[in-house]
Structure 1
Amino acid sequence: MENWKQYKRKGLSEMRPYIKDEDLTGVSVSKEDNPETDMGMIARNPKNHEDKWYVARKYFEDNFEEA
């Protein structure tokens, strides 16, 4: 299905830096990402702190800035 559309975020994102060698149990990491070499960010759902995912460094740098 190829019905891609562009969307803007309405609010803030909660993120912190990935720490080398940290346990990523409970963090969703895409198979294309390698946190050990990329050293990106860990994001979490502000309404559910158990919902966490890895954000690649380049994507973070291109799309986010500190509020």
Structure 2
Amino acid sequence: MSEFKQYRRKNLSEMRPYVKGEKLDGNVSISEADLKAGSPKVGNMIARNPKNHKDQWLVAKAYFDDNFERVE
């Protein structure tokens, strides 16, 4: 197994808030850890690949808050 190393992001991320009650139905990937933590839930964000808008995944609120800030 290889060693983990730190990497900085080179570009911007495209995200939007999860809307309570929104049906994600396989259109948005959610990790097993996030599912166990009760996601999807209000405060989570939905990220998408800017080069493939069908490639979307859930970002937990705590991770988002620690790692992202809005670009105006």
1:22 is displaced (CA, Å) by 0.6
Counterpart contact for 1:44–1:52, Cα < 8 Å: yes
Partner residue, 2:28: 27
C-alpha separation in 1, matches of 2:44 and 2:21: 13
1:39 is displaced (CA, Å) by 2.8
* Segments of 4+ moved more than 2 angstroms: none
C-alpha separation in 2, matches of 1:42 and 1:27: 8
Calculate the TM-score normalised by the size of structure 1: 0.90
C-alpha separation in 2, matches of 1:32 and 1:19: 20
Structure 2 residues not aligned, in runs of 5+: none
Counterpart contact for 1:42–1:54, Cα < 8 Å: yes
| RMSD, aligned α-carbons | 1.2
C-alpha separation in 2, matches of 1:4 and 1:32: 19
Q: Percent identity?
A: 61
- Equivalenced residue count is 66
Structure 1 residues not aligned, in runs of 5+: none
